[in-house]
Amino acid sequence: MAAQISAIKNLTEQLTNRYQQFFSLTPQDYLLEKQTRMPAFQQKLFISASVTSRKPVTLQVDAQNGQIEVVTGVLKNGPEHQLLIQNPQSNLTKIIFTNRIRYISAL
């Protein structure tokens, strides 16, 4: 009986871990490298589509120190020339200036 309970607990832990891995919102490996900047018309198209669909996206953004920053979450319209991106896992919201976006990728 104890062996069956141990086996069920082990199976439950494995299923939980695989479920979390399957639905985790992690940026793709290619976004960790600096991508070429998308054209402005393509950025606007992707932004409007992702705001409308409310699906998570990954953004590559120019940071102030010349580096890139990868941000994942759901986009919402913000004040003029700004977007809000909310990460559903951490429930944090970040302000993104549209002129700093380099690359957009759907998850």
The predicted pLDDT at position 10 comes to 84
Q: How many separate domains does the chain show? A: 1
% the chain with pLDDT above 70: 87
Give me 32's structure tokens: 């960790």
Letter for the amino acid at 48?
A: S
Q: Domain range holding 70?
A: 27-106
Question: Could you tell me if residue 52 is inside a domain?
Answer: yes
Q: How many CB atoms lie within 10 A of CB 104?
A: 21
Q: Using pLDDT thresholds of 50, 70 and 90, give the confidence band for residue 49.
A: very high
CATH of the domain at 87: 2.30.30.100
Is 9 within a domain? no
Q: What is the 3-state secondary structure (H, E, C) of the chain?
A: CHHHHHHHHHHHHHHHHHHHHHHCCCCCHHHHCCCCCCCHHHHHHHHHHHHHHCCEEEEEEECCCCCEEEEEEEEEECCCCEEEEEECCCCEEEEEEHHHEEEEEEC
pTM score of the predicted model? 0.67
